[in-house]
Each structure stands twice: as C-alpha cells, then as structure tokens.
Structure 1
Amino acid sequence: MVDDVQIVHYDSNTRTAVPKQDWMKKVIDDDPEYFKRSTNIFMGQEQTFKDNIEVLKQRFNQTGGVHIYQVMYGCEWDDEKNEVNGYRQYGYDGEDFISLDLKTETWIAPKQQAFITKQKWDNNKARTAYLKDYHTRICPKWLKKYVNYGRRSLMRKDLPSVSLLQKTPSSPVTCHATGFYPDRVDLFWRKDGEELHEDVDKGEILPNHDGTFQMSVDLNISSIAPEDWKKYDCVFQMSDVKDDIITKLDKSVIRTNWVPPSGFPAGAVIGVVVGLLLLLLCIAGLFMWRKKTNGFSRANISESADSNSDSSQSQLSGKTGGGE
C-alpha cells in the first residue's frame, strides 16, 4: 500500500504477485525481475504465516477454531520536513502481540505469550540491526521510488460530490461526501460558523471501488426548530485545498426515498385479492391431487454440500532455524 492505495497483491490462491495500479507497470520496465522476486518473497512469507499460526495456537493453548495472524510494517516519509519513521508490529486474533521499538532497538511484548519471542529476537542483534536499516533507509528509498512512479495519480486532488440524505423526516440528516482523494480530509457540521461536537455522529473514511474515498457525518435534527435550519451547514475540508465545500442544511436539497402515507393503497388491495384467489386454487388442486393419489408419500431426497470453503520474517518460537 502507498497512501492507502494498494499497489501489489498476492494471495494463496494465485501464488503470484500482481500489480494493482497501472503506473506499477513502469516498475517492470525498469526492473523486469521485480514481480518474480516479490512472488518468491511472498511465497516464503505465506509458509511462515502458516507455521506461526501453529506456534501461536500452542502458546495460547488453542486446539481449534479460526485464528488470525497479522504483520504490519512500513515507513512514513514527510517530504516537507524530510523526516522518516518506521514501524513493525505483529498481531494475533486482532490484538497486539509484539512490536519493534526502533529507537531502543528492542522488542515490546504486551502479551505474556510473546515473551519467548521477545527474548529470542532481542538476542538476535544482527537481525534487529538489519530491520532498523530496512525501515530507516531501504523502505524510504522504495517509498520515494513508488511516489515518483505514481506521482500523477498519488499527488492528485479529487474533490467529492456532497449530498444531504435522510431516511424519514424525523431521522438524522446525513452529510455524505464521496469520490474524494486523498483521504486527508475532514467533514463536519457547524452552527453559526462554529463546529458542532454534540448531536453529531461522524463516520470513518471508507474506500470506494475506484480508489477514491467516502465519508459521512450525521446531524440529529430532533431539537432543531425549522426556523433555525438556516444556521447549520456541512463543511468538507481537504488538506492543501484552499476552498471548503459548504452545503447548507436545506430541506429542498435533501435526498430521500421516504414516501408519505396516503391511506391504504388500492394496488395492495388488488394484490391481496389476487393472492387469496391463487391460494384457493392451490388448495383445491392439492385436495384433488390428494384424493387421486390416496395421500402423500415421503420424498426420497439425498443432500450433499461441497465445503470450499519482505524476506525478514522469522519463527515466533524460541527454536532456531528458518521461518519467523
């Protein structure tokens, strides 16, 4: 991922690293062995992940069930301050397991079950020195290369379309922004020019299928008098973009699927009548069939279902050898 955009993909079904952005093809032009080399690294990591799942199940005295082992590592580069920060952390079943402190060059183990791994990795000074070099020198070098390749795409500014949505007249009004890029944005309601923190519910920034993002923030209007609606507006702000997108709280622009009730519709009455007639016909036909065949016979049915349901990794166990 670069700036929350996926650039390379690998999974255990394809067993091949593939580019996910058009501009990544430039990498192949300059380095034809890039994806072959990446595939070999990922295949090795895949086996390491499987081995580590078994190690962690033993550490936590687990014999079955579905479990998740995660590794997240990378670097952040601030091109304005020219600062670089690296990180490497491991998780198990959604919780922190162990992480690297690059400043002290030691491992932090918040779980008792990670202490064996901490001791092993703290004693492996050569590996820790390599990881520090990777996160502070090698990783930023590649990050800068990726940014250079995808500059036109990664450095673009896509402004969103902003809409006001509402389920019913008494529901909260949702300010929804979609199609923006990058995700360094803010979306909020304000009253008389002041940002609101009460009676609002801000959602997370979510990805769209096309690589852009979307975000919503709800405003509870139950205590807002109709004459005060004009005091409220929704504001979309994007980093490094001077002008905000401001949308006034106005009933005339709110989009909704709600249809006011207007008595029991004639169409529904006709539908019920037709349904009853069909039901009577079915009952009559069923009665005649039962009479002709002298009762039901149990069906003989057999059912079946198919159930398909970087190369610095090392063994989590205290044992020596390959893997993580």
Structure 2
Amino acid sequence: MVSIDEVARLAGVSTATVSRALSGRGNVSLPTRGRVEDAAKSLGYVVSASASSLASGRTRNIGVLMPYLDRWFFSTVLAGIASALMRRGYDITLYSLTDDRAERRDIFDTFLRRQRVDGVIAISIELGEEETEHLRELDLPVIAIGGPSSRLPTLTVDDVAVARLATEHLLALGHREIAHIGANPQFDIDFHIPTRRRQGFELALADAGIPASPHLYEPADFTIEGGFRAAKQLLGRPGSRPTAIFAASDEMAIGAILAARELGYRVPEDLSISGIDGHELGEFFRLTTVDQCPRQQGERAVAALLEDIDDPEAPTPQHVPGALPFELIVRGSTARPSESRG
C-alpha cells in the first residue's frame, strides 16, 4: 500500500502539505496542490477515510434528504449533488423522506444524530417545526432546495414566476382558451409547488383579462401517464376545446402531447402544449418548457453547503428569493392558434 510519505517525496513537499492538499483544509498554493494530486494519482494513493476523519473531525460525507427516488426532477437534482460532491472528495448518504411519520422520526431522531455526516441538503421537502429543530440541534450546516423556509438557508425557484412565464408565452402567441394540467391534492405537498404554479397561471390570465375556468383545469400526478389521462379528459369534453395546454411539469406535458396525437390533434398546428422543468426528453418531443435547471440546483446547493463547512463563521443567507435561475425554452410544441395565421 502506498504511504503518504511516498507521495510527499515524489511531490517534493512535507507530509503535512500532502494532507492539507488532499483534504482541502488549510492554505496550499494551486501549483503545489496540483503537484501533490498528480503524485498521488501516479502512485495510486487514496486518502484513508477513517484516518482523514480522525485527523480533521470530518466524515467527508453529506446527508441528502429527498421525498422521491424515482421521479426525474429529484434524481436529476441528486445527480448534480453527487457530481459536485465527488469532485470535492465527498460521499453521500441518502435518506428517502416519505410522508410516513414513524420513518421520518427515525431519520431525524436516530440516523442523523449518529453524526456520520458533515452537512445536510434537503431537496424540496417541507419540514415540520420539530424536524427543523432537530436539524438545527445537530449543529451542522444545512441547505434546503425549494421553499421558502424561514428557519433554514434556502435556495429557491419562484414557482409563481415560472408558471407566469410559461403562460405568458402562450398568451403572447395569441391563445385565449388555455387549459391547465395541475396536480391531485395528494401530490400538492412540500411547499405546495403545484398550487403556486396554478397561481402563476391564473395571475397571467388575469393580467390578460381572461378569467380562469374550472372547465379548463384537470389534475394529474406529475407523470407522463397522468398527463396523458388528464389531456384526454380536457380534449374529450363537450363544448369548445382549448387551443393550448400548460402543464405544471414536463412529464405531464409529454403525456399531453401523446394524448393529443392519439386523438388526432396536430401539435402545434391544432394544439400548443408547454411544460415546466427542462426534462431530458423535452428536446426529443420538441417541447416548449421553462427550464429550472435541476442539475445546476444540486451543484449550487453543494457549493453553498461546502462554503459553510469550510468557513463556518461566514454568514449564510437564510433565503434568497429567485436565487435559482429559470429560462423559457421555445421549441416546436407551441405556435400561434391556427385561426390567427395568415
């Protein structure tokens, strides 16, 4: 097994410098750090996690709390977190925080209290007062994604503004009969993101002088299948049909595209469809969307958390409204209503 002394000799530095360079603790110049890293790589030297933890008081491990493991948005945020942590030499301990009270209590009362993590990232989870207090009692850096949270440092996307942007795009094209696919009540948890997106949709309509119609709303479950069923309901009702559909997620929007095609509607000639997220399948379906950059959300959370870990005396902003970016991506699923074309 390669020792730290061998790395120090090859790099021409002391063992203490090797330790600081590879742990990220202490001041080491970039050229020296690069020389140490090159020497360690060429020799196949790997820092012992247990030895590093004993020496530094750190575990080099970050706990991540998330409500779903099988949803695209959450897995993409997690991918950004994992990539950013790997570059900094950190591991992940993943906690699936369901709505089961007993399971949640075990995570906060037992697992997190084992002090096997250096910090915690919570992805789009609305924590109760007691749970938040448990986190604060750990005396560890915590960063939440989604919110706002009045008691935790939080990176947020303004979901009302995101939905307004998507709806205003359809209005600017000339659409007035715009339907909305939102969420079933059981999915409107953790910061009520679907409700906030519906609010943004209705505010954009109100600004355009268009009353929101219950006839043009259909709930779903934020999946492609759910969007497919909801769009079939909207397009199969008697009376005038919508000329556009705004779905509160890209997966539901993709389901709506598939339903429209099955019913014989051309997208966008007969029906415009837009979503929110920036899903990886959006480009394949030529979906117009508001990209909320989920991978970058994870990377920014890691940067904020590790900055707090490296400099615990530095002030951490509690809540930065609109700190996480979003962008309208116009593709081929939206166009002017057919009757407006010359």
More strand by percentage: 1
Structure 2-normalised TM-score?
0.22
Query: Which structure is higher in RCO with an 8 Å CA cutoff and minimum separation 6?
Result: 2
Structure 1-normalised TM-score?
0.23
More helix by percentage: 2
